[in-house]
Amino acid sequence: MICLGCSCLCDDLEFKNEENKITVGNACLKGFKRIDAFNKNRLISSINKKEASIDDAINKTIEILKNSKKSAIFGLENSVLEAQNESIKLGEKTGSIIDNFSSVYGGYLINRFLDGSVNTCTLDDVRDNCDVSIYWGCDPMSTHPRLMSKFSYYPRGKNRQRGWEEDRYTIAIDARKSLTANITKKFIKVSPGRDFELFKAFKDVLSGKLPKIGDKKLLMNVGTSIKKAKYGVVFVGDGLDYSMGYMNDFIDLINDIGFKLQPVMDCIGFNKLLFERFRYINSIDLEDKSYAKDNSIFNLLKGDDIDSILIVESDIASYLPHKIAKKLKDINSIYIGPHSNLTAYLSRINIPSSISGVESGGNAYRMDLKEETAEKVIDSEFLSQYEILSRIGEGL
Amino acid sequence: MSDNDLIIISYEDRNVFKQDSPFDNSYIEKMAIIELTEEDMNKNDIKDDENILVYNDNGEVVVKAKKMEEGDVGIASMPKGPWFSVLLPNNIEDFYKHINAKIKKTEDPITTIEFIFD
Ligand code: SF4
C-alpha cells in the first residue's frame, strides 16, 4: 500500500483488515493515523452549521459559485492528482483564482525546483549514493518521519553499504534543536532570522576564508565535510524560507558546490501540475491565466476581491494570522475534506470526502516528483474529492 | 529589552495530526503551550504548567508554560497552530518569521478556540 500521509509516499505499507481489525505494517505514526482515523472526527455535511445531506451541500455550493462575482479555490496539497485536475477544470468554468499553501511559504524554491534551475535528484539516488545530507530549516523527523530511515540516513544504499554508522554524514541547521537535530551528527543552531548570515559564513568557509560569525571550529569542520562530499544533498523546509527571504544566492551556492536540493514540502505535486499547465505554481487567476501576488490566500482574505472560496483538505485557518482566518466567516466558504478541523469550523458549508489513498484511490507525486498510484483499501460511503468536484462542475 | 520580552519561533509538533479535532483536550494540551528556558521561567517567576499570557501588538492568548529541554535565553517556541496564529502580523512579508512578544503570569484560563475565532 502507498501512504499519502506526506510527500515521502512510502510504498511499503502492509495493510490488513481481518474481521474488522485493521493492522498496518511499516507506517510511521503519522501514516498510521491517516488510516486509523477513518472512523474518527469525520466531517459532517452541513450548511450554515446545520446538518444537511451531501446532495444539499453540493447543490448549495453550486448555487454559491453560480452567483459569485469572484471565487477562489484553495488547498488540495494532500489530494490526488485526479482531484487536483478536477479543481482546475472547475476553476476554469467559474473563472476562479486558484492557490495553495506554496503562496504562504516555499513557493519561490519550488518554482526554481520545477523550472529546472536547481540541481536535484531522486530519493532513490539519495538512498544509493548520498554521503552528506544537510537539513536546513526543516525537521523531517516530525513532518516526513520516514525520510531519513527510508532514504537519506539509515538505509544501506547501493553505494553506501556501511549506512549511517560510517557512510553518511548528516548536519541539521535550525533555530531550535528539533527531533532531526537530535539525531544528526552535527547541529548548527542559527539565531532566528540569521540564516542569511550563516549562509555567508559558509560561503567564506567553502572559499577557504575564516567565517565571520558563529562557532568557527564547527563551521570549518562542517565545511571540510561539505567539500569532501561525493554526493551531497540539502533538504530545505519552510524554516529557511521564512528566515532567508531571498533565496537566489543560496540556490547558486548549492549549485556551485555540486550539491542537490530537495524541498521537503507537501504541495509540490499540485505545484507541478499547475506549473505544467500555466507556468505558475500558485496565485493564478483562471479567468485570464494570469499570476499576481494579490491572488495569494493571504491577500485574498485580507482584501475584498473574493466573495466565495472553496477549500479542499487544507487546514489553512490554523496557520494564517487569526484575524485573516476569521474572514472565512464573512464570505461564502466551503470546506471539502475527510476530517473536521478549524477551517471546516469557520466555513459555511462542509462537504465530507473519503480519505485519499485509504477510502479512494488515485495518483500522487512524491517530493522528488516520482508518480505513484494509491489504491483504495477500505470501503466507505464517502464520495471522493474528485467525485465531489466533478459533481459541482457538472452542476455549473 | 525587558525580562518579559521574547522572540518566539514556531515548530510543527509531530504528535499533532491532521485528523485530530481542534476541540479535543489532547489537542489543546499539545498546542496551547509555550516552551521557555528555565532562565526565562525564573526571571518571570513562572513554573512549569502555569498559565501565562503571551501578548504583542497583534493579539494576546493564554497558554501553558512548558520548560524547554535545551534552548537560548530570550527565545521561546510555540507549535504552529491556532494559538500561535493570534500573535502573527497581518503582513505577508513578516508572516511566519520569528515574532516578538511579551509574557506575564495570569490566573486566566487557557484561551479557547471559540474565544479566538467567534
Ligand atoms: S513517512 Fe509519510 S508517507 Fe511514509 S508512512 Fe509516514 S506519513 Fe506515510
- CATH 2.40.40.20 is the classification of domain B5-117: yes
Residue A146 Cβ contacting ligand 1 at under 6 Å:
yes
All residues of chain B having their beta carbon less than 8 Å from the beta carbon of residue A139 are 11-12
pLDDT of residue A245: 57
Does the distance separating the beta carbons of B14 and A141 come in below 8 Å? yes
Give the Cβ contact number of residue A182 at 10 Å: 13
Please name the residues in contact with A192: beta carbons below 8 A apart, sequence gap of 6 or more: A175, A243, B7, B9, B75, B97, B98
pLDDT, tens only, A287-345: 999 999 999 999 999 999 999 999 999 999 999 999 999 999 999 999 999 999 999 99
Q: Residue ranges of the domains in chain A? A: 43-105+267-395, 107-263
pLDDT of residue A316: 95
Cβ under 8 Å to B: A residues 120-139: 139
Give the Cβ contact number of residue A20 at 10 Å: 5
- pLDDT exceeds 70 at position A369: yes
Which amino acid is present at A378? I
- Classify residue B80 by its DSSP letter: S
As its CATH architecture, domain A43-105+267-395 has 3-Layer(aba) Sandwich (3.40)
Q: Mean pLDDT, to the nearest integer, of A82-103?
A: 97
pTM for the predicted model, two decimal places: 0.95
Alpha-carbon distance of A303 to A297, in angstroms, equals 10
pLDDT of residue A206: 86
Q: What's the pLDDT band for B2 if we cut at 50, 70, 90?
A: low
- Chain A: residue nearest B113 by CA? A342
Alpha-carbon distance of B95 to A176, in angstroms, equals 19
Alpha-carbon distance of A44 to A24, in angstroms, equals 26
Question: ipTM of the assembly?
Answer: 0.95
- Chain B: residue nearest A42 by CA? B19
Q: Are A163 and A154 in contact (CB under 8 A)?
A: yes
Residue A137 Cβ contacting ligand 1 at under 6 Å:
no
A39 at the B interface (CB within 8 A)?
A: no
Alpha-carbon distance A304 to nearest alpha carbon in chain B (angstroms): 15
Given the C-alpha cell 470526502, which residue does it identify? A353
Buried b (16+ CB within 10 A) or exposed e, A308-341: bbbbbbbbbbbbbbbbbbbbbeebbbbbbbbbbb
**DSSP 3-state of B44:** coil
Alpha-carbon distance B9 to nearest alpha carbon in chain A (angstroms): 7
All residues of chain A having their beta carbon less than 8 Å from the beta carbon of residue B90 are 302, 321, 323-324
pLDDT of residue A88: 98
Q: Are B111 and B80 in contact (CB under 8 A)?
A: no
B12 at the A interface (CB within 8 A)?
A: yes
Based on DSSP, count helices (H) and strands (E) in chain B, helices before strands.
4, 6
Alpha-carbon distance A365 to nearest alpha carbon in chain B (angstroms): 20
Residue A31 Cβ contacting ligand 1 at under 6 Å:
yes
pLDDT of residue B93: 66
| Protein residue with least CA distance to atom 4, ligand 1 | A10
User: Best of A12, A13, A26, A28 to mutate for ligand 1, by most ligand atoms within 8 A of CB?
Assistant: A28
Does the distance separating the beta carbons of B116 and A319 come in below 8 Å? no
* Selected residue of B9, B28, B58 to mutate for chain A interface (largest A Cβ count, 10 A): B9
Q: Mean pLDDT, to the nearest integer, of A361-382?
A: 96
Q: What is the 3-state secondary structure (H, E, C) of A297-351?
A: HHHHHHCCCCCEEEEECCCHHHCCCHHHHHHHHCCEEEEEECECCHHHHHCCEEE
All residues of chain A having their beta carbon less than 8 Å from the beta carbon of residue B97 are 192-193, 242-243
As its CATH architecture, domain A107-263 has 3-Layer(aba) Sandwich (3.40)
Does the distance separating the beta carbons of A142 and B12 come in below 8 Å? yes
Q: Are strands A232-236 and A169-174 parallel, antiparallel or unpaired?
A: unpaired
Q: Mean pLDDT, to the nearest integer, of A216-229?
A: 91
- pLDDT exceeds 80 at position A244: no
The number of CA neighbours under 13 Å toward the Cβ of A59 is: 5
pLDDT, tens only, A33-47: 999 999 999 999 999
Residue A10 Cβ contacting ligand 1 at under 6 Å:
yes
List the single residue in A176, A323, A345 with the smallest CB-CB distance to B9.
A176
